[in-house]
Amino acid sequence: MLKSTIICPVCGGPISIQHDDKVNRCEYCANPVLGPSQSRDCVNHPGKLAKATCHVCGDLICEDCMERRAGDYGGKLFTVVNCTKRKCVAESDWARSINEKYEKLINMDWADKSDNFILRVTGFGAVIMMVFELIFILTMLYIQYFTPYGITSNVSFFLYPGDAIIVMGLLVVGMNILGNLLGAILLQTSLQVHIHGRQLGAGVALMFLIIIEAMYLLYRGSFFNLSAYPDPLIAQILFMAFLFSSILIFVGASMAISNGMKKRKQMKVARETLGLSK
């Protein structure tokens, strides 16, 4: 006898109905689909409409019989539901149990707009910093190798003619690669400012990184004697680009610290209200 087949409403794959009175699962995405003759009531409370399906055993359960959990799979957070049977609870231990009262108390929808603004400002500033670092290293290579003001002009050699030029070139590239690495860390950190639990730490880290970046830039400018270059426009353009990106990152980091402190206080008050330990 051929079993009936329906289309999965989630992934669109074909589901062969194996059980008329039990939950059937899509073999492609594991989405539960009720059997044609299956009761829609909670298995523990006849007459009470079920609200979810246990992801372990497939039983239909109401809100009083379910446990919601937050699972992390491949870096993506999703919600799973299990019933209160011992086996199903044990099978769900890999996901974090959700305290609905606590989740309501720490609802942070109020910060959505400001968090989006913070992410855009710091992200844009970090991207400009990365571009600035690329332009800086190209400028330094040009000055040091193609102008008479570079550190490679009129230098002697160590062992054979030209070896000092190579050493100087490696020094120029190495020092500026470190600057690019700082820019990359800034960009990666700026992407964390919209995550509730990391916002405060990311804001503080951005403040620290921008200070390190500024100090290292001054050191490189002094080392390569950029101020002695006769065309002041190059130094001015580089300075303005760095200043603009630094202001953007500073503003975003300041807002991230402010929001992060408010969120931390909100979570602390929620834990105290419910008597939860940290």
Q: Are residues 131 and 203 in the same domain?
A: yes
Q: Count CA atoms closer than 13 A to 238's CA, side-chain side.
A: 20
Domain count, the chain: 3
**DSSP codes joined into one string, 108-150:** -GGGHHHHHHHHHHHHHHHHHHHHHHHHHHHHHHHHHHHSTTS
The verdict on 83 and 206 lying in the same domain is: no
Residue 76: domain span:
45-98
pLDDT the model gives residue 233: 83
Phi, psi (deg, nearest 5) at residue 102: -65, -40
pLDDT in tens, the chain (278 residues): 446 787 887 788 888 888 787 888 888 877 788 887 788 899 999 989 998 888 888 889 998 899 988 877 655 667 889 998 999 999 888 888 888 788 788 888 899 999 999 999 999 999 999 888 888 888 877 777 777 766 555 555 455 545 555 666 677 667 778 888 888 899 999 988 988 888 999 999 999 999 999 998 888 878 777 777 777 888 888 889 999 999 999 999 999 999 999 999 999 998 888 887 65
Q: Which of 84, 80, 59 is nearest to 69 (CA)?
A: 80
The answer to whether 82 touches 97, Cβ cutoff 8 Å, is: no
User: Does residue 168 share a domain with residue 215?
Assistant: yes
Regarding whether 169 and 125 lie in a shared domain, the answer is: yes
pTM given for the model = 0.66
